[in-house]
Amino acid sequence: MLPPDSTRLLFDKKERSGKPEPLKGVRVLEVCSVVLGPAACDYLAEFGAEVIKFEGQKGDQMRFVTPYA
């Protein structure tokens, strides 16, 4: 089991050091709602891009797919 502080270090972007962010400063507007679009934007965010997610009136359709449903 991880100590409580290690969880904060894993998920706090300011606390992580040494992680390469080649897309830092890039802003992405995501308007996708099915599997591959959001997954691709998730990868872009992992590489340092700022991702702005736009959801229509019904929200993201993947929220209604298992295991979340």
Give me the residue spans of the domains in the chain: 21-69
Q: Name the band, by pLDDT with cuts 50, 70 and 90, for residue 29.
A: very high
Q: Retrieve residue 40's tokens.
A: 């691709």
pLDDT, residue 52, reads: 92
The Cα–Cα gap between 46 and 48 comes to 5
Per DSSP, helices labelled H in the chain are 4-11, 36-46
pLDDT, residue 58, reads: 76
